[in-house]
Amino acid sequence: MQIIPAIDIIDGKCVRLTEGDYSQKKIYNENPLEVALQFEDAGLQRLHLVDLDGAKAGTVKNWKVLETIASKTKLTIDFGGGIKTEKDVQIVFGSGSALATVGSIAVKDEVLFVSWLQQFGANKFLLGADVKDEKIAVGGWLETTDVWIYDFIEKYINNGVQQIFCTDVSKDGKLQGPSIDLYKNILTKFPSLYFIASGGVATIDDLHQLKEIGCTAAIVGKAIYENRISLQDLKKINAY
């Protein structure tokens, strides 16, 4: 199982939110590049970079951070937050991201998102599904829709999307463990999916559990910053 560390950006700084609440913000490092280099030094190969300013504003904001990390590390980066237009997509790829992470737009404007898949290639997108009670949440988790997670995944697999990550909003940033049952259900329905678990990971045991149920990868954020999981531990999991 591949470990994908997360860096969330507000005002160019590395932060974490709790349950997507911007008022519950904690700054961990003023310099995201420093954090990315630590991940790379630990042998990790991917990075999940989230532009929280962009997610709130509805347009990409922190692309300079992306550009810096992409130019100074060899990490395979997926970048998301505020990707709403073709120009945003081009900025993200032009700034060095391997994958554009898209969530809300795939819910709200299917025609536009499918046109990007066709134009740029479906393998260039990481589809994010933020979930509350098996329904999709959008807009930095501020709004819940009536779209069922399984229908959402199936639709975009049929449009060529190869990688999907799913975050249970009720778990994110709380260090209370991931949504094992939800992920089991998804993996049962879509066994060949490159599926990335996200949200709630607090311990190495959580990661072992995710590996056991068949997750291809797991995004880890707050547990690293709160020193619940060491980079050495992640190196070991990533290695087998």
**Mean per-residue pLDDT pooled into runs of 10, the chain (240 residues):** 95 87 89 97 96 94 98 98 96 98 93 98 96 81 83 97 90 80 96 94 94 96 93 79
Question: What confidence score (pLDDT) does residue 141 get?
Answer: 55
CA distance 39 to 128: 22
18: tokens are 């709790």
Question: What confidence score (pLDDT) does residue 169 get?
Answer: 81
**Catalytic center residues:** 8, 130
Whole-structure pTM value: 0.93
Question: What confidence score (pLDDT) does residue 210 get?
Answer: 96
Name all domains of the chain by residue range, CATH numbers in brackets: 2-239 (3.20.20.70)
Question: What confidence score (pLDDT) does residue 85 get?
Answer: 97
Question: What confidence score (pLDDT) does residue 79 get?
Answer: 98
CA distance 142 to 102: 16
